[in-house]
Copies of this chain bind each other. A is one copy, B any other.
């Protein structure tokens, strides 16, 4: 399908542009020239910029669920699962971009409501999943934690998103390596 091809290409490119430049610095014109079509063609596939954004987040959320599923099925220990989760973001850092969701979260106030909701959902899902793994790990005596799992989960998600955002500006070795070490140390699980 040419349809599928172009639509997917539009999604892929738009996502990258948003991750690189932010929602408000990315435009249909920019996207069009990058993909090699006219802006009107983008409007054909995604009537408005808000629709495109929503489609992007829907896909991103589905991919997250898939990734979490994968980790849950393949990971042996909870520590390994959490490491896998972190490495999801660590790969993003290597790409020199931020999480789609973190990018949108910064522009939160300027987003259409549907997008705002999708961003919230994504973030809460991440925190919930992380807290779950920590709880399981602690329950099984695999991990130790001096605070609450909720605190640790919220902090991890914040530091992953923040780490990605700061990484480009700060330069130097990957910030998420520091984050991972700190997080695992707090769980007595280097």
Contacts and interface: CB of A to CB of B under 8 A. Distances in A.
Those 9 A-B pairs whose CB atoms lie nearest each other, nearest first? A162-B162, A159-B159, A158-B162, A106-B106, A154-B178, A155-B182, A158-B163, A161-B162, A147-B185
A138 interface: no
A107 interface: yes
Contacts of A24: 21-22, 24-25
Interface string A85-122: 00000000000001000111111111000001001100
Contacts of A82: none
A102 B152 CA distance: 21
Please classify how large the interface on chain A is, using the bins under 10, 10 to 19, 20 to 34, 35 or more.
Answer: 35 or more
If over half of A's interface residues share one DSSP class (helix, strand or loop), that class is named, otherwise mixed; here it is: helix
Interface stretch (A36-44, A68-76, A168-176): A168-176
Interface of A: 20-22, 24-25, 98, 102-110, 116, 119-120, 123-124, 127, 146-148, 150-152, 154-155, 157-163, 165-166, 168-171, 175, 178-179, 181-183, 185-186, 188, 190
A169 B20 contact: no
Contact of A159 (B25, B98, B107, B158): B158
B168 A108 contact: yes
Contacts of A103: 106
28 contacts: A21-B110, A22-B110, A24-B24, A98-B106, A102-B106, A103-B106, A105-B168, A106-B165, A109-B168, A119-B169, A123-B166, A123-B170, A127-B170, A147-B185, A151-B181, A154-B179, A154-B182, A155-B163, A155-B183, A157-B166, A158-B160, A158-B162, A158-B178, A161-B162, A162-B163, A162-B165, A182-B186, A185-B186
